């Protein structure tokens, strides 16, 4: 490991003009120095626990004090705000709900940048607009520290078992240092390119996922209406060109697969509301870059309509139920048409 | 083989009240008796050749006499019209462009039903509205014969190499007899259920395929605009929940994969116009069954717009090019905004 | 009136080769000879009453005998089936729910064509696929009679008060004869062109109506969310380029206008289910003519989804409620995001 | 006029705590004191000219010096930057292409806020995100001045003839003062509510306009394909419930109306690219407020695709041409299907 870092230090000399060499070096070499963690929600909590499990002292904070209790009992040190975290740790992971939270945690009155040390490595695992990631990177670099975006794929389950996938954007020379921490919390850590590309990869994947899920749902629904057995139809799609993750791994039709939310009344999994949020980010980046995304845009609208009709908390595969004709509705329609 | 048919004969006694038992029996047992073939277009031609290769005498016809020449030189007997085919063969495969052609070939003035023998097996491999397949089945059954729909997946290449996939709908007891012929022309022969379900499976698969292809195209386009390397993005999608056949097997972005139409200026493959036709069928069946198919419907409209803009003959993965901003257009826009 | 017909008789000599001149002539000149009516549903019933009011003897039938009672009490003669109607009247109006009903009433075992007299004028006011209207016209013409399609705009209210709009397709020379009857039931009778163009005009109008209604609903909803007063927003749209019938005459937002279904819990008016049916026809004709109709297609899907969610019997302006966030849903979402 | 202001002064005492009373008062009463103008593009130039025509001394600036020449020759005083404008005028109108420009002109290094006088009235006629308008209002209020958003409807023609419509958001008590200036440049000045509602009204109108225009285009195209005469179809729509501004005032089909861009190869009018920009704003505000706008969203995507296909500079009614099947494409398709 040391050898790797020795190499990367040389590269840093060329790339990170604002970084303080000595501090960066000490951060990298003493791998069990404290790690800061900001945001102990449903995802952040199990992620921070995994850092503890791997032997890292954790300095953490959250706007809701009660979120910190469990971690404190496990040995983490809880401080008042992000600035305090930055005062005591030179490697910090942030995991927050949306762009405004990230902006506040980094640049706010008690934000990380108030006390960040030169050479610190700041990794943001929130899913936000890549343009905001880039803004944060610029602000962080001005303080002589390094910012990387590293949003995750996989839900609370993967966070708990340490099986998340991290998509990482930032200076390539820092990737190994980020990987060291992230691999405690995830099974895959993928380098995507410059700052913001981690977010871009996450957003792109989730947009295509939403399209595939709605597409699978309407296809399965149509096939069933046309007399096909759902399991047989799934089998045919999966051996043909209609195959996708939503058809072969996470089928939305109850009874086709086991161990997926469609078999459990769409509880657990990835909430419709979270998918709507990610599609909103995809839409915003597409609008800003003038990229036409007709299906992604319609997928966004469908998940938005679902949120307005009581599906916000159900798994996003519940779009199958949203599109399916309700028995009651069918009866009404029959009466009407007479 | 004989054993299998002995068993199925017993079942037939219960199911096929209109069928002439003796004739059906003779058809099944003498497997190298002639096979009729109607429709020698781009697909039908190589399919009929494969029947010849497997030792079946072929009696064929097509509305365009020149289409028959090559097959005649290879030993097929060419006759004037479908009725003549039915006069000389009790197993017939039809491969036609659209519903009206199928209706004409079966029920027209010189159609198969004019001379069909009792107990004949009529297999239609055209891709048409499942409602028309059901109508044909009723008309065929009235003549004491059997009708199955068996549309194919896979293009001219698969037809030539005998690697098509057949999705078969019809009386289950006849499936083995159909399979005997179809396996000469395809690698997979899948039984889907009652008459019309072969078409239903085909239509469903292609609708989801179109959604996946457009979704992959807009996602790749957005990712590239956001600074991601296309090969890397494809790799990330393919290890994540965005994975689909269009991303991992038939990627629409030039340079990402080899051996696919995107690497060859979108020549060959499955034409945009044919995809638009299949999506029109999907739309019609969805409308008739009152099934909401929002993404399938928009996919149809996009392929329809592409046909109107010069993409009719290009592979359907060319939607990537359709959505991508043209260099010239970008330049114009820049000038305008000044 | 006679003068007009004398002129049109001359034109007929050139155009209607199959029609029996003498019978046509007698039909036209004795304007108070019986008029046949097939289909006494919600619309047909008040339409037939208006013919009675204008002094026409009415010979009527319906598949549901109870539908005939009221008209019988008002003096209409009820017969068993459409063939009997055709036996006793040489001018017949049909008003039926969908294409299969029309096909059956004209060409079925007891259909009009079994006993139609040469020179009869058959006017179909059903809203159906223009392709079916054309088929009926061909079949009718073979019997030496004349067919016109004359679908209506306006609901049960307009049918009752005789204020319907008829869009008429067929031979221009017959328009005056059709107009004579139709003007008893409607305020506007518009000649649209050859057979099928009445349907085409109806379908086109309703597709644009649906687009305008959904567009108005999402626009009003967005404006309200952005802090605009709904009445003020409607006023601004109506004096600007966003103006449309749905914004200025039939506004979907409760409280903006009086005397429209949005002010009465979306009761009465034009049912969502009927709009979905008309959009299905629009979709089918667009698919058949390979015309891209992206917004019309999405409007169809939205009304189809509404039917599946309990809106089938509500006025089509209830799409405003469908798109609006439910209070309960909002609350749930807030809880989820904490 | 004085009477009105005497009344409004009293209201101000209650509402505008940060405003300097004396300065505001002097600004209002001496109506021909200089007016500042920032942004002399296609729209700003004729707007500023109309202020000159009405006798107002104009102090103007633009990033492109050549844009200022014509106005200078007409008597305007040209200064270096927005700060200089604010130094010399206490009423300023800004007319800029997009949000970043507005942010820069108000809060940049040489922005208005560097030298704005207390009590100044700053009117922004740019079309931007209402959230940015609200941010500007907050920043302006901190300096003791007043900000109103007043985007326009109507193009270069209306700007030249002084026939624009202004949709104004801001403190109601300042509306009369804003109206005094805006009525020199527009025929309608509509008060919409709090700051940002002017933008909201503009965005809502243009979203519905885009939906109506695409809807009219696909409807006209479908009707023509079904055999209807375009002029007759337009007439029928306009007397029915399909009526909208795009069908009765700005019909997109060449030959239906005179004096509209469709009669002039879609030159002039309101560019596709500008419509795409406004729809992007609508999409962003809808995403931020979690409002489903399915048709608005698809309209955005269609105009975005058009920009990518060479339509950026054509009038937005050219969507009719975009959707129409190209002759060449039709020919190709025919060849392919043989």
In terms of CATH architecture, what is B2-195?
A: 3-Layer(aba) Sandwich (3.40)
A217 in reach of chain B (CB within 8 A)? no
Query: CB-based burial of residue B212 (10 Å sphere; 0-12 exposed, 13-18 middle, 19+ buried)?
Result: buried
Q: Is C53 annotated as catalytic?
A: no
**CB < 8 Å to C192, chain D:** 228, 232, 236
Measure A280 CA to nearest chain D CA, in Å.
Answer: 6
Q: Do D309 and B324 touch (CB under 8 A)?
A: no
Query: CB-based burial of residue A3 (10 Å sphere; 0-12 exposed, 13-18 middle, 19+ buried)?
Result: exposed
CB interface of D with C, residues 234-273, below 8 Å: 236-237, 239-247, 249-250
Neighbours of chain B (3+ CB pairs under 8 A): A, C, D
Residue A5 has pLDDT above 90, yes or no: no
ipTM beyond 0.95? no
The pLDDT score that the predictor gives to residue A338 is 38
Dist. CA A297–CA D296, nearest whole Å: 10
User: Cβ–Cβ contacts within 10 Å for residue D163, how many?
Assistant: 13
The pLDDT score that the predictor gives to residue D154 is 82
> Residue B269 — pLDDT band, cuts 50, 70, 90?
confident
What residues contact A259, with CB distance under 8 A and at least 6 apart? none
Contact in structure between C298 and C276 (CB atoms under 8 Å): no
Residue C94 has pLDDT above 70, yes or no: yes
Q: Do A333 and C97 touch (CB under 8 A)?
A: no
Please give the mean pLDDT across all residues of chain B: 88
The pLDDT score that the predictor gives to residue A329 is 55
Q: Do A204 and B226 touch (CB under 8 A)?
A: yes
The beta-carbon neighbor of D332 closest among B312, B323, B335 is: B312
User: Cβ–Cβ contacts within 10 Å for residue D230, how many?
Assistant: 16
Dist. CA B13–CA C175, nearest whole Å: 59
Q: Do B190 and A236 touch (CB under 8 A)?
A: yes
Residue C5 has pLDDT above 80, yes or no: no
The pLDDT score that the predictor gives to residue B31 is 53
pLDDT digits (tens, 9 = 90+) for D22-42: 444 445 445 589 999 999 999
The beta-carbon neighbor of C298 closest among D223, D243, D294 is: D294
HEC string for chain B: CHHHHHHHHHHHHHHCCCCCHHHHHHHHHCCCCCEEEECCCCCHHHHHHHHHHCCCCEEEECCCHHHHHHHHHCCCEECCCHHHHHHHCCEEEECCCCHHHHHHHHHCCCCHHHCCCCCCEEEECCCCCHHHHHHHHHHHHHCCCEEEECCEECCHHHHHHCCEEEEEECCHHHHHHHHHHHCCCEEEEEEEECCCHHHHHHHHHHHHHHHHHHHHHHHHHHHHHCCCCHHHHHHHHHCCCCCEHHHHCCCCCCCCCCCCHHHHCCCCCCEHHHHHHHHHHHHHHHHHCCCCCHHHHHHHHHHHHHHHCCCCCCEHHHHHHHHCCCHHHHHHHHHHCC
Helix D2-15 / helix D175-182 crossing angle, nearest 10 deg = 130
CATH topology assigned to domain C201-326:
1.10.1040
Q: Do C297 and B293 touch (CB under 8 A)?
A: no
Q: Do C292 and B308 touch (CB under 8 A)?
A: yes
The pLDDT score that the predictor gives to residue D23 is 43
Catalytic positions of B are: 202
pLDDT over 70 for what percent of chain B? 87
Catalytic positions of D are: 202
Rg of the Cα trace of chain B?
A: 22
In terms of CATH architecture, what is D201-331?
A: Orthogonal Bundle (1.10)
The beta-carbon neighbor of C312 closest among A97, A307, A329 is: A329
CB interface of B with A, residues 111-150, below 8 Å: 130
Measure D128 CA to nearest chain A CA, in Å.
Answer: 13
Which residue, among B215, B298, B304, B336, would best test binding to D if mutated, counting the most D CBs under 10 Å from its CB? Answer: B336
> Residue C9 — pLDDT band, cuts 50, 70, 90?
very low
pLDDT digits (tens, 9 = 90+) for D161-203: 999 999 999 999 999 999 999 999 999 999 999 999 999 999 9
Residue D86 has pLDDT above 50, yes or no: yes
Q: Do D296 and C245 touch (CB under 8 A)?
A: no
pLDDT digits (tens, 9 = 90+) for B87-115: 999 999 999 999 999 999 999 999 999 99
pLDDT over 90 for what percent of chain C? 82
Residue A6 has pLDDT above 60, yes or no: no
The pLDDT score that the predictor gives to residue B328 is 53
B208 in reach of chain A (CB within 8 A)? yes
CATH topology assigned to domain B201-325:
1.10.1040
A287 in reach of chain D (CB within 8 A)? yes
Q: Which residue of A has its CA nearest to D287?
A: A280
The beta-carbon neighbor of D285 closest among C153, C205, C226 is: C226
The pLDDT score that the predictor gives to residue A9 is 27
pLDDT over 90 for what percent of chain D? 82
Please give the mean pLDDT across all residues of chain D: 88
The beta-carbon neighbor of A304 closest among D284, D292, D298 is: D292
> Of C114, C117, C118, C202, which one is the catalytic site residue?
C202
Beta strands B121-124; B152-153: pairing state: unpaired
Please give the mean pLDDT across all residues of chain C: 88
The pLDDT score that the predictor gives to residue D268 is 84
Between D1 and B134, where is the model more confident?
A: B134
If you search the block for the tokens 């109709």, which residue do you land on? C293
The pLDDT score that the predictor gives to residue D327 is 53
D289 in reach of chain A (CB within 8 A)? no
> Residue B327 — pLDDT band, cuts 50, 70, 90?
low
What residues contact A273, with CB distance under 8 A and at least 6 apart? A307, A312, A313, C333, C336, C337
pLDDT digits (tens, 9 = 90+) for C230-265: 999 999 999 999 999 999 999 999 999 999 999 999
Dist. CA B252–CA C173, nearest whole Å: 56
Closest CA relative to residue D70, chosen from D92, D87, D89, D47:
D47
CB interface of A with D, residues 290-309, below 8 Å: 290-294, 297-298, 300-302, 304-305, 307-308
The pLDDT score that the predictor gives to residue D68 is 94
Residue D48 has pLDDT above 80, yes or no: yes
**CB < 8 Å to C280, chain B:** 287, 290
Q: How far is CA D256 from the centre of its chain?
A: 28
Q: Do B333 and D305 touch (CB under 8 A)?
A: no
The pLDDT score that the predictor gives to residue B2 is 30
> Residue A27 — pLDDT band, cuts 50, 70, 90?
low
**CB < 8 Å to B271, chain D:** 336
Neighbours of chain A (3+ CB pairs under 8 A): B, C, D
The pLDDT score that the predictor gives to residue C11 is 29
Among the listed ranges A81-90, A190-199, A204-213, A303-312, which one has the minimum average pLDDT value? A303-312
pLDDT digits (tens, 9 = 90+) for B140-197: 999 999 999 999 988 888 999 999 999 999 999 999 999 999 999 999 999 999 999 9
Measure B287 CA to nearest chain C CA, in Å.
Answer: 6
> Residue D333 — pLDDT band, cuts 50, 70, 90?
low
C289 in reach of chain B (CB within 8 A)? no
> D97-128: b or e for each residue (b if 16 or more CB lie within 10 Å)?
bbbebbbebbebebbbbbbbbbbbbbbbbbbb
Measure C307 CA to nearest chain A CA, in Å.
Answer: 7
Which residue, among B151, B204, B251, would best test binding to A if mutated, counting the most A CBs under 10 Å from its CB? Answer: B204
> Residue B32 — pLDDT band, cuts 50, 70, 90?
confident
The pLDDT score that the predictor gives to residue A13 is 27
Measure the CA angle with vertex A275, ends B254 and A127; round to 5°. Answer: 80
**CB < 8 Å to C308, chain B:** 292
Q: Do A323 and C305 touch (CB under 8 A)?
A: yes
Beta strands A164-169; A152-153: pairing state: antiparallel
Among the listed ranges A23-37, A273-287, B234-248, which one has the minimum average pLDDT value? A23-37
pLDDT digits (tens, 9 = 90+) for A51-93: 999 999 999 999 999 999 999 999 999 999 999 999 999 999 9
The pLDDT score that the predictor gives to residue D328 is 53
Q: Do D292 and A280 touch (CB under 8 A)?
A: no
Average pLDDT rounded to a whole number, residues B114-132: 97
User: Cβ–Cβ contacts within 10 Å for residue C149, how many?
Assistant: 33
Q: What is the DSSP letter of C268?
A: S
The pLDDT score that the predictor gives to residue B329 is 54
Residue C327 has pLDDT above 60, yes or no: no
The pLDDT score that the predictor gives to residue D229 is 97
Q: Establish, for the pair of chains A and D, how many residue pairs have beta carbons separated by less than 8 Å.
A: 47
> Residue A156 — pLDDT band, cuts 50, 70, 90?
confident
Dist. CA B215–CA A209, nearest whole Å: 9
Domain ranges of chain C: 2-194, 201-326
Contact in structure between B200 and B169 (CB atoms under 8 Å): yes
Asked whether the CA dihedral A261, A266, A268, A272 is positive or negative, the reply is positive
**CB < 8 Å to A308, chain D:** 292
CATH topology assigned to domain D2-194:
Rossmann fold (3.40.50)
B332 in reach of chain D (CB within 8 A)? yes
Dist. CA D177–CA D27, nearest whole Å: 9
**CB < 8 Å to D299, chain C:** 295
Q: Which residue of C has its CA nearest to D333?
A: C290
B100 in reach of chain C (CB within 8 A)? no
The pLDDT score that the predictor gives to residue D157 is 86
Q: How far is CA C205 from the centre of its chain?
A: 11
Dist. CA C317–CA C210, nearest whole Å: 9
Average pLDDT rounded to a whole number, residues C99-108: 96
Catalytic positions of A are: 202
Contact in structure between B101 and B71 (CB atoms under 8 Å): no
């Amino acid at each position: 490991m040391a050898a790797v870092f020795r190499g990367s230090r040389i590269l840093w000399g060329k790339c990170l003009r604002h970084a303080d060499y000595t501090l960066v070096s000490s951060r990298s070499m003493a791998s069990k120095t404290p790690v800061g963690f900001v945001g102990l929600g449903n995802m952040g909590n199990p992620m921070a626990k995994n850092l503890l499990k791997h032997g890292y002292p954790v300095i953490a904070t959250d706007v809701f004090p009660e979120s910190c209790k469990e971690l404190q009992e496990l040995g983490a040190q809880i401080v008042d705000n992000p600035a305090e975290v930055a005062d005591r740790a030179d490697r910090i992971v942030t995991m927050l709900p949306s762009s405004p939270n990230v902006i506040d945690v980094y640049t706010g009155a008690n934000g990380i940048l108030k006390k960040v040390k030169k050479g610190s490595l700041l990794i943001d695992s929130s899913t936000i607009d890549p343009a905001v990631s880039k803004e944060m990177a610029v602000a962080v670099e001005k303080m002589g520290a390094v910012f990387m975006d590293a949003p995750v794929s996989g839900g609370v389950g993967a966070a708990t078992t340490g099986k998340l996938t991290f998509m990482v954007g930032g200076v390539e020379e820092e990737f190994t240092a980020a990987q060291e921490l992230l691999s405690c919390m995830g099974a895959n850590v993928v380098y995507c390119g410059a700052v913001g590309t981690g977010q871009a990869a996450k957003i792109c994947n989730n947009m295509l996922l939403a399209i595939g899920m709605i597409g699978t749902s309407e296809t399965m629904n149509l096939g069933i209406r046309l007399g096909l057995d759902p399991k047989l139809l799934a089998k045919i799609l999966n051996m043909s060109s209609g195959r996708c993750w939503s058809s072969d791994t996470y089928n939305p039709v109850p009874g086709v697969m086991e161990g997926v939310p469609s078999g459990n009344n769409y509880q657990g999994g990835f909430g419709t509301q979270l998918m709507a949020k990610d599609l909103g980010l995809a839409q915003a980046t597409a609008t800003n870059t003038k990229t036409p995304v007709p299906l992604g845009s319609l997928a966004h609208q469908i998940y938005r309509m679902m949120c307005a009709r009581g599906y916000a908390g159900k798994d996003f595969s519940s779009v199958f139920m949203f599109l399916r004709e309700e028995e009651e509705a069918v009866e009404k329609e029959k009466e009407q048409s007479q």
